[in-house]
Amino acid sequence: MSCPHLNLLDPDSYANGIPHDFFEQQRREQPLYWQEEPNTGVGFWVVTKYDDLQYISKHPEQFSSAARTALSREMSEEDIMLQRMMLINMDPPDHLKFRRIVNKAFVPKIVESKLAHIRDMAKDIIDKVARRGECEFVSEVAAELPLQVICELMGVAREDRHMIFHNTNIMIGADDPDLSTTEDEGKMAAAEIFAYGYKILENYRNNPNDNDNLINMLVSGTVDGEQLTDDEFSQFFLILLVAGNETTRTVTANGMKLLIENPDQLQQLVDDPSLIANAVEEFLRYEPAVMQFRRTATEDVEVGGQLIKSGDKVLMFYTSVNRDEDYFDAPHQFDIHRSNAKDHRSFGIGEHFCLGSHLARLELRVMFEEIIPRLRNPKFVEKPNFMRSDFLNSMKTMPITFDPETA
């Protein structure tokens, strides 16, 4: 190896963006390799190739999400026990039993039935900024649609949505000094959302109705004949709010950044909006919102020519597999016409494939169908400001200008 290993769990390794040159070299020279981690003492395998990520994601019996959670950070046994109540940190057979409870709310037919309403929300968001000719794109545009949609689905009152926004920001921003200073603050933010979940449940029990589909599903759903406990309900509430909110915002913000940087491709989308759906797939491929998720090997298993030992920590880098040259031609080129852009792995694959992928795709497409014809000639006011993180490729702020709408 000519290149010393970068510690991919050090947020500073991303200070200048995702280290694509490093990943490219690893894919070529040592696609699955062991990395010592001095800060925690828990080393990990780095997965950089598409096929290896695919194998690991599709074999949950060999690569567990429950053992040490799907998150890369090290936690106490007590915290792991709590985390295991969340879908994302479960293994088969429990995982599917829990997933089935809410799965129906996210199938394409149900998601598409919300199209007109989601479009109205997107229009309102753009109405608020279009005449001004400037906005802080992340908070005023990118954050709003996913936040409004998921809060509505989860029965969060409109006036409380900024509390959710604030707390989910703190939860994901543990490594960013602007967002959170201590781990305890992150825990308190999660506790506030958790407590709000109890309130929603209590309100629902006092006033049961058929309108709140997702709450209905959670309250009436059963696992092995048993209803969810209050804690399980609140954990579901928490994961849906966090997962449905930050990720879609991030792709919207990164997508806009890519269009500002590539005005020729933006013009093609203005001229032919039918290209927007594929452009969204290319945003997802090029700038995945989630950089990595974790698994823990449950047995000795050979993958990518390496022997992974039972108990080993394994990190799958979506940032790298989406640029695997064996799957994507000229992978570092941003190209809205890429014929296989949709094959990205930004939603994962296999057992834990993103539950909200149809909803996220719909929100992204509709949002850009509103943005592209109305926020014309967008330009940066200053450089986009990214969150300090080894987990999420999130933007904090991106002030922009555009031609003020006159009509």
Interface residues with ligand HEM (CB under 6 A) are: 57, 65, 70, 87-88, 99, 150, 239-240, 243-244, 247-248, 251, 289-290, 293, 346-348, 352, 354-356, 359-360
Q: Which residues pair with 134 in a beta bridge?
A: 401
Least Å distance, CB 90 to ligand HEM, is: 7
Least Å distance, CB 182 to ligand HEM, is: 26
Handedness of CA 84, 90, 94, 100 (dihedral sign): positive
Nearer to ligand HEM, 130 or 398 (CB): 398
Q: Are 173 and 179 in contact (CB under 8 A)?
A: yes
Closest CA to 398 of 86, 139, 212: 139
Least Å distance, CB 143 to ligand HEM, is: 13
Nearer to ligand HEM, 200 or 359 (CB): 359
Nearer to ligand HEM, 49 or 402 (CB): 49
Nearer to ligand HEM, 58 or 205 (CB): 58
Least Å distance, CB 356 to ligand HEM, is: 2
H helix or E strand, kind and range, residue 334:
none
Nearer to ligand HEM, 288 or 378 (CB): 288
Nearer to ligand HEM, 266 or 359 (CB): 359
- Return the axis-axis angle of helices 246-261 and 161-172, rounded to nearest 10°: 80
Q: Which two tokens stand for residue 241?
A: 């709010």
Closest CA to 154 of 395, 327, 338, 359: 359
Least Å distance, CB 97 to ligand HEM, is: 11
Least Å distance, CB 352 to ligand HEM, is: 3
Closest CA to 178 of 406, 394, 404: 394
Nearer to ligand HEM, 88 or 228 (CB): 88
The whole-angstrom separation of Cα 401 and Cα 132 is 9
The whole-angstrom separation of Cα 364 and Cα 146 is 9
Least Å distance, CB 347 to ligand HEM, is: 5
Three-state secondary-structure class, residue 167: helix
Q: Which two tokens stand for residue 163?
A: 């509390």
Three-state secondary-structure class, residue 73: coil
Ranked by CB distance to ligand HEM, the top (closest) residue is: 356
Handedness of CA 123, 129, 132, 133 (dihedral sign): negative
